[in-house]
Chains A and B, each alone.
Chain A
Amino acid sequence: MIGNAVFLLLALAVLAVLMSVAYTTTTSAALPLAGAAAKQSTQSPSTTGDPWIPLHSQAPGDILAAARQSALFQESRSGTGDQVHDLSRLGRPVLVSALRPAGVSAAEVPDFYIVPILNQAGATTDAAELALNPAHTAVQVIAIVTYTVPRTGGSVALLSADQATRTVASQYPEAAQPIRQPYLVYFPLDPAWQASQNGQNGQHVWLAGGALPADPVWLVTAAKGKQYLAGDDGKTYDLSQLPFWKG
């Protein structure tokens, strides 16, 4: 009787060691101990982050379909976490072109499609930023940003094209009849410039908008090709006045 119990105990001990080894192996892969080499996960969705998603066409439906393939559109958004909770209502994507200073590439400052994310009332509460490759054949969903105040009517720009034209024309009458349709732009704002201004007077000084793709402004092209930016602050800006980030 005792003999059988001893050998049964031995069997259980062997089993315990095997199970411990298996558990240790699994856990070590998950928890890196100080000074030890960590095992790397091989399941990362991409080796550099965000994959490029091909666009079948520039049609709104194809742009939205591409956006929905991204990781950001496939996240579980239930619960009370600090997140956008509903991506089911999407507005019409808008093209936002980049104003690039000399020496800055389209890879660094790309053009974008902005997808409005709407609430039940149809206001834009958030926006998905879809960076375009230089050929405009693929997108990366690089961010979702939340507006401080929802924008009306599914828009992403604070002004309409007509309002922007009137704003510019009030200061430059030759812009009353633009020689091409106004279009939405953003430009890379120099953070050092902003910080230096903030340090001096304690206030944000660039209030004209256009510093990020989700907050675009209208570029109005007047006679002789002169271009003006219609700021959200009601002012008109010559492109040479913009505090560009230089890379």
Chain B
Amino acid sequence: MTHAQRVALRISVVLLVAAGALLATVWHGAIGLTPTVQAVPNNPGASTGAGNFYGADTTMTINAIKSIWPQVGPSCGIETAEAAVNYNDEVRGVGLRFRSTTDQKVVARNNQTSGASQWGYPTPINAYGGVTNISRDVGTDPRSIAYMEWNYTPSNTFYHDYIYRWQFANSSAPSFYTQVLQATTSMARGLATWHEPLTSQINGGLHSVLVTGVYSYNDPRSAYPAQITSVVYRDPMAYYTVSRFEASIGTWAGGHFSTPYGVYSLWSLYYGDRASAGDGKNTSDPEPAVGIYKPTPSQPIHWYRGFTWIQRDNNWANGTWNPDWAYTSTGAKMTAP
């Protein structure tokens, strides 16, 4: 082999290794973001001129909620968790775990004595979240909901709280509307991947609804932010006149949405807000008061100034099954507020 051939061979090896490393980097990132179950939109062959639905099934959704809703008192978190559990039971072909409106009282009672986080719980506890809260929420906080969904579904079914803050995906703050679009895209990835409804906190954290789908012009698993046109949700307050809401993306991000239960702000407020985005004046849904997510002077926010939802995932290795853990919207396990 001549000198030139040897040089060419070495360069070839270096280039092939570089190409492999590039692909491995991308695939690693994708795997970190995307659970293993792949799904297709209802109408994958549709033209890009029509938004496609990504999410859960109508009949299964109705079956999951029809016997257990509406909520009584501030039990929206419990009721949406029960609905997610029932839906998963249907997916697995087992009997529904929850079958009565009184089950919300049973779950609330169970929450008084079991299900505390590894970091404990703040006192005093309330009659709904009990020891499952890590904050002094008046109802159930996102950790409590993640715990309930994990606890009441069959083994090896994992749920975690996901949090979007613009810092997770941007070097500078995009417009509020773009933040909502990015967060909704991340949430939609859970819907498109699992085809199961998820629990989303709305109205500044005051309320939880069951998000069952989104419409998007492009696939939210590969587009960021996706061209989402609407969000479909079911309200545990419901069973009065209206059962399903398909809110346009402008309504989802802009609020002022009149419902049978009052004017909803939806995601026009961050978690923890009361009247305007970023005001942080919602005293009913405070930040964690125990554990590693309790805000510190250097890291003063956890749920606040962001959006949050609880979804199924595949995060179970190395102890990550624990519903105590929160994840960023980009799929990273959070080890600090």
Contacts and interface: CB of A to CB of B under 8 A. Distances in A.
B18 A17 contact: yes
Interface string A1-42: 011001101101110110111011001111111111111110
A140 B262 contact: no
A103 interface: no
Nearest to B225: A41
Contacts of B258: 109, 186, 188-189, 211-213
A225 interface: no
B225 A31 contact: no
A148 B205 CA distance: 26
A30 B18 CA distance: 22
Interface in B121-173: 168-172
B257 interface: yes
Interface size class of A (residues with CB under 8 A): 35 or more
A143 B53 contact: no
Contacts of B73: 198-199, 202
Contact of B259 (A35, A77, A148, A212): A212
Contacts, number: 286
A239 interface: no
A78 B56 CA distance: 13
B37 interface: no
A51 to B, nearest CB: 9
Given A80-B42, A80-B58, A195 B242 contact: no
Contact of B261 (A31, A80, A204): A204
B263 A83 contact: no
Given A30-B223, A76-B46, A10 B12 contact: yes
B35 to A, nearest CB: 13
A172 interface: no
A10 B230 CA distance: 50
A38 B254 contact: no
B248 interface: yes
A202 B104 CA distance: 12
Contact of A82 (B33, B203, B244, B331): B244
B316 interface: no
B181 A44 contact: yes
A100 B235 CA distance: 25
Interface stretch (A58-66, A67-75, A159-167): A67-75
B263 A204 contact: no
Given A24-B26, A34-B330, A214-B242, A193 B262 contact: yes
B250 A49 contact: yes
A32 B73 CA distance: 39
A223 interface: no
Contacts of A20: 18-20, 22-23
Given A47-B175, A78-B42, A83-B53, A14 B15 contact: yes
Given A75-B52, A80-B57, A204-B260, 5 more contacts: A6-B1, A13-B11, A13-B15, A148-B242, A191-B203
Interface of A: 2-3, 6-7, 9-10, 12-14, 16-17, 19-21, 23-24, 27-41, 43-50, 70-72, 74-84, 108-109, 140-148, 186, 188-195, 198-199, 202-204, 206-207, 209, 211-215, 245
